[in-house]
């Protein structure tokens, strides 16, 4: 028998150990660094290389036992995060904790200057930081020297932090006239004109312009079109279609060397006229040969107000995806959705048509990817929010959905909230009774904040490079609208009135439904999302107790051709509206899925 000692981490070559540490979450890196001096340096290199200062805490795995290995997800180890409390219900305390942790980070850099050289990227994510935190961010920037990225997502915060002393490879251009020759990745914020864009364009590998089409095309017309600036080496690009001047789309497309593009984000606003034809022409204008394309993100740039327009858009988009799917390993689709749901034609039949598009047609497309046999990732960032626009089926989800013990408790609480609140209708400028679509849309909107937001200069193709965020909602505040109004009695107990005649409800004190309850809601909502995943993977066995007339005979719709369903398990990860699913196969080939954070 061999007397050799079993291999250990200490005996591994430094390069191998460094690669292993990339998979460790933040706390595990800290723990390992304190166990042995051999681990100290490689762990600190990983811990300090990519830092995020976040308004929200990252979602962490609940268990790390061997029995939970299917749920292991390395996304929360992608970066070290400076955040506040994990479950703080008071924003003031949360900000104080973020500030305190920032000061500790700055102190550690002062005590051990070697750590400064480890820092390669810093990201500041969030909109509501205090003056103390912004000042500390400036102090941190002053301590750093050789790093590639110092990204601040919020424009107002960017304007208060001076980064001019840093020689960055990635910059956000706001109020500047020129950018340094060292810049390789240009993100354009609140900027009108860069005087030296012609000279730096050949060096750029990434160009991300604003998400809003008006800002996008104003910058293009001021900077690109006058001198016909050509970008020969772009590998990552955001293309926002002009919804009113088709020739502008063509002219810009001709100024790129498309064969080098590896990551592409396309934003499609609602055209002014002939929406279906215009959208088709825009997608058709993109070159059909993109041999290096690996990541594709497609976003609705504005709200498409009816199911009919959305379905036409989806079909055109799927045809476009089909052109490039063979080389893709990552696909992201995101819609712009009415904040409180409800399509005027959101009938149950239309819901089923839309549902089938994303659970049957799209998975079939993905099977054509040459990358799908290993690690294809599907990101449907706000699909649940899209489905909440169909009121009839949201009633089914609310009152005839999951009947497990957990959902019986928390869906009942959501149900009670629904009948004790009203929403503000912008059109009539009055408070009205809420329906299931309104409330579930508001919940889905909050869950989607776990991911990179629509308007960020970080594209959707960067989603896996950041943790999933733990966003909480107070159940009352509504973005860009009035809060939900609490009532002193249930709406079903009020008298009956004709539309427009109902008197305004009296304002009462805010009820006790808050962030604490919302932290329990994702698990209940995920049980509905589980059904979507089962359909995508063809694991849904149907309802054995359903009457004959209630059964869905999908094979009749599909012409009986179900052979390719055996390959639906080629997906390795699916992200849906804030939920993350790992997907794999048993030894016998049976597919399984695991809800990473919310089950």
User: Cα–Cα distance between 375 and 373 in angstroms, integer?
Assistant: 7
Q: What is the DSSP string of 490-517?
A: -GGGSPP--TTTSPPPPP----S--HHH
The answer, yes or no, to whether residue 507 has pLDDT greater than 80, is: no
Residue 409, both tokens: 């408790």
Q: Which residues contact 432 (CB under 8 A, 6 or more apart)?
A: 422, 423, 424, 425, 502
pLDDT at 214: 97
Q: How far apart are CA 313 and CA 79, in angstroms?
A: 36
210-219, 300-309, 363-372, 572-581: lowest mean pLDDT where? Answer: 363-372
Q: How confident is the model over 291-315, as a mean pLDDT?
A: 96
pLDDT at 555: 40
Find, among 106, 23, 8, 22, the residue nearest to 69 by Cα.
23
pLDDT over 90, % of the chain: 68
Main-chain phi, psi angles of 224, to 5 degrees: -100, -50
Residue 550 confidence (pLDDT) = 42
CA–CA gap between residue 216 and residue 238 (Å, rounded): 10
User: d(Cα 430, Cα 408) in Å, to the nearest integer?
Assistant: 32
pLDDT tens readout for residues 461-505: 999 999 999 999 999 999 888 999 999 877 655 544 445 545 555
Burial of 107 (0-12, 13-18, 19+ CB in 10 A): exposed
Model confidence pLDDT, tens digit, residues 156-215: 999 999 999 999 999 999 999 999 999 999 999 999 999 999 999 999 999 999 999 999
Rounded to an integer, the average pLDDT of 121-147 is 96
pLDDT at site 559: 37
Q: How confident is the model at residue 541 (pLDDT cuts 50, 70, 90)?
A: low
Show the beta-strand stretches assigned E in 406-523: 421-425, 430-433, 469-470, 485-486
On average, the pLDDT of the chain sits at 88
Neighbours of 93 (CB within 10 A): 12
Helix (H, G, I), strand (E, B) or coil at 485: strand
Tell me how far apart the alpha carbons of residues 463 and 265 are, in angstroms, rounded to a whole number.
Answer: 12
Residue 318 has pLDDT above 90, yes or no: yes
Structure tokens belonging to residue 588: 């016998």
Question: What does the pLDDT average to over 351-364?
Answer: 95
> pTM for this structure?
0.91
Rounded CA gap, 152 and 140, in Å?
Answer: 13
Nearest to 77 by CA among 19, 20, 18, 26: 26
């Amino acid at each position: 028998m061999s007397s050799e000692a079993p291999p250990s981490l200490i005996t591994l070559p430094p390069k191998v150990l460094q690669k292993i540490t990339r998979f460790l979450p933040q706390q595990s890196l800290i723990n390992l660094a304190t166990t042995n001096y051999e681990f100290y340096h490689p762990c600190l290199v990983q811990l300090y290389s990519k830092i995020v200062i976040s308004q929200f805490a990252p979602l962490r795995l609940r268990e790390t036992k061997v029995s939970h290995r299917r749920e292991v997800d390395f996304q929360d180890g992608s970066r070290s995060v400076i955040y506040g409390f994990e479950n703080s219900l008071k924003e003031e305390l949360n900000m104080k904790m973020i500030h305190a942790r920032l000061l500790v980070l700055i102190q550690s850099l002062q005590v051990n200057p070697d750590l400064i050289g480890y820092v390669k990227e810093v990201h500041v994510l969030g909109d509501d930081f205090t003056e103390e935190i912004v000042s500390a961010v400036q102090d941190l920037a002053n301590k750093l020297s050789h790093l590639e990225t110092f990204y601040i997502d919020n424009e107002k915060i960017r304007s208060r932090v001076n980064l001019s002393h840093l020689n960055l490879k990635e910059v956000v251009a706001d109020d500047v006239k020129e950018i340094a020759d060292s810049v390789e990745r240009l993100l354009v914020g609140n900027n009108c004109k860069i005087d030296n864009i012609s000279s730096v364009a050949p060096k750029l590998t990434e160009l991300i312009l604003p998400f809003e089409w008006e800002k996008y095309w104003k910058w293009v017309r001021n900077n690109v079109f006058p001198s016909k600036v050509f970008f020969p080496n772009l590998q990552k690009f955001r293309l926002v279609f002009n919804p009113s001047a088709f020739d502008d789309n063509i002219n810009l497309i001709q100024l790129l060397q498309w064969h080098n593009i590896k990551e592409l984000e396309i934003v499609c606003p609602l055209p002014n006229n002939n929406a279906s034809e215009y959208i088709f022409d825009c997608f058709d204008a993109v070159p059909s040969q993109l041999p290096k394309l690996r990541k594709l993100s497609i976003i609705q740039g504005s709200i498409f107000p009816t199911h009919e327009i959305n379905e036409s858009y989806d079909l055109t988009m799927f045809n476009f995806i089909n052109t490039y799917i063979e080389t893709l390993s990552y696909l992201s689709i995101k819609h712009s959705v009415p904040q409180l749901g409800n399509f005027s034609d959101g009938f149950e039949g239309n819901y089923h048509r839309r549902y089938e598009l994303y659970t049957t047609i799209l998975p079939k497309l993905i099977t054509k990817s040459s990358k799908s046999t290993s690690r294809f990732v599907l990101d449907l960032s706000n699909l649940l929010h899209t489905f909440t626009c169909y009121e009839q089926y949201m009633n089914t989800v609310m009152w005839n959905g999951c009947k497990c013990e957990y959902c019986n408790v928390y869906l009942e609480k959501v149900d009670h909230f629904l009948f004790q609140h009203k929403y503000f209708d912008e059109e009539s400028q009055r408070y009205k009774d809420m329906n299931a679509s309104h409330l579930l849309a508001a919940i889905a909107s909050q869950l989607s904040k776990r991911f990179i937001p629509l308007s960020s200069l970080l594209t959707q193709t960067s989603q896996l490079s950041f943790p999933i965020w733990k966003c909480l909602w107070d159940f009352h505040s509504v973005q860009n609208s009035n809060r939900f109004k609490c009532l002193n009695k249930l709406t079903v107990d009020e008298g009956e009135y004709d539309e427009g005649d109902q008197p305004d409800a009296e304002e009462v004190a805010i009820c006790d439904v808050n962030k604490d309850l919302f932290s329990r809601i994702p698990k209940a909502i995920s049980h509905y999302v589980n059904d979507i995943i089962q359909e995508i993977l063809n694991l849904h066995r149907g309802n054995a107790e359903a009457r004959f007339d209630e059964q869905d005979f999908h094979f009749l719709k599909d012409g009986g051709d179900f052979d390719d369903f055996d390959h639906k398990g080629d997906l390795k990860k699916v992200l849906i509206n804030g939920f993350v699913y790992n997907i794999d196969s048993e030894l016998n080939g049976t597919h399984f899925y695991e809800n990473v954070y919310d089950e």
